[in-house]
Amino acid sequence: MAAISFKHVVKQYGTGKSSVQVIHDLCAEVADGEFVVIVGPSGCGKSTLLRMVAGLEVISAGEISIAGRLVNDLEPAERDIAMVFQNYALYPHMSVFDNMAYGLRIRGMTKEAIRARVEQSAEMLGLTPLLARKPRQLSGGQRQRVAMGRAIVRQPKLFLFDEPLSNLDAKLRVQMRAEIRRLQRRMGVTSLYVTHDQVEAMTLGDRLLVLHQGLPVQLATPMEVFEHPANTYVAGFIGAPSMNMFPAVLSHDGAAANFAAGQFIAFADGRRPGADGRKLILGIRPEHVTIDAAGTVLQIDLIEPLGSETVVIGRLPDGEMFSVKVPGAAPASESMNVTIPAEHLHVFDAQTGLRLDPAG
């Protein structure tokens, strides 16, 4: 196993005025045996960061260490890592056994040792009946398991996953998520997993590293990221549907004004994030909104039934889009009345977007 250390890591393409900085001063520590998911939208630098760890991209500045060893100038083969890609990258002319055994043969291992490792890994992944097949005879999920098996047989210090489930259908993604997590816990190998899928991120990771335009904005457990997002970007990215956010102004002894055409919300327990007139962004997750006949009118634009729950999307009196998630079916009407429980409010500074503590 191996801990990973990132110290002021920067990735830049080009020089001078035409240069583009993709990763900005990233500092983070990944513990031995930890499963960290790097999450963010397309183009935020996730795969670039993973490729720098693998040695497939040159580090522009800073240091990356694996198991206490600086790896900036090491070749990929010297880093003792295994990488699983989105496109499987299997040799089409080789059997499943030979695909899994290829890296071990290059290392010069004996036939007996290779067979033992391959058969052990195949048993773990349910691939034993498929060892004689070629990749073209496998389903997408089976091919991805072969790609994982090829990584597992090497018994590396570090697993790197680059959006490995993107090519699978929804049902297979669920199955493979469970398989990857089960195997990682069983083997205890430090793992970095890149995805833009927040469901994958929330269900797989011990911690999430959320990137935004190459900047690390939060590194925390999935529930910490969900319940205490560091800024408005994280709040809007993590959670489905996205968190409702709207402008407000602090006034009236701790109440937040300008919600739903001038209505007020009193902060729980008298918490007051600043002085009168401070501009805020208030957030509330759709599942925390309550239906209340005495509440604000929400004009319904769209109802999305999901079976056990329903998402209602509409507009508040001031025109703000607003989402509500309710259990079961939504009432069949053109409007509904909603209230926002103050204890579930998320408060952010309007200028910086940063989360404000109760007494911030």
pLDDT of residue 55: 93
Full DSSP string of 152-209: HTT--SEEEEESTTTTS-HHHHHHHHHHHHHHHHHHT-EEEEEES-HHHHHHH-SEEE
Residue 253 has a pLDDT of 60
pLDDT of residue 256: 56
Query: What does each C-alpha distance from 296 to 241, 267, 314, 332 come to in angstroms?
Result: 20, 17, 12, 18
Instruction: Please give the structure tokens belonging to residue 350.
Output: 């309007």
Residue keyed to tokens 């300008």: 258
> Does 259 score more than 60 pLDDT?
no
Q: Residue 177: what pLDDT?
A: 87
pLDDT at 359: 46
pLDDT for residue 82 is more than 50: yes
Percent of the chain predicted with pLDDT > 90: 48
Question: 3-class SS at 310?
Answer: strand
pLDDT in tens, 267-307: 655 566 766 778 889 899 999 998 888 888 889 999 998 88
User: pLDDT digits over 102-152, tens only?
Assistant: 989 988 899 999 999 999 989 888 899 999 999 999 988 888 889 888 988
Q: Is the pLDDT of residue 36 over 90?
A: yes
3-state secondary structure of 348: strand
Q: Parallel, antiparallel, or unpaired: how do β-strands 335-339 and 290-305 relate? A: antiparallel
Does the structure show a pLDDT above 80 at 235?
yes
- C-alpha separations of 14 from 19, 49, 61 in Å: 4, 17, 13
pTM score:
0.87
Domains and CATH numbers, the chain: 4-236 (3.40.50.300), 240-349 (2.40.50.140)
Residue 67 pLDDT > 80: yes
Place of tokens 């493979």: 176
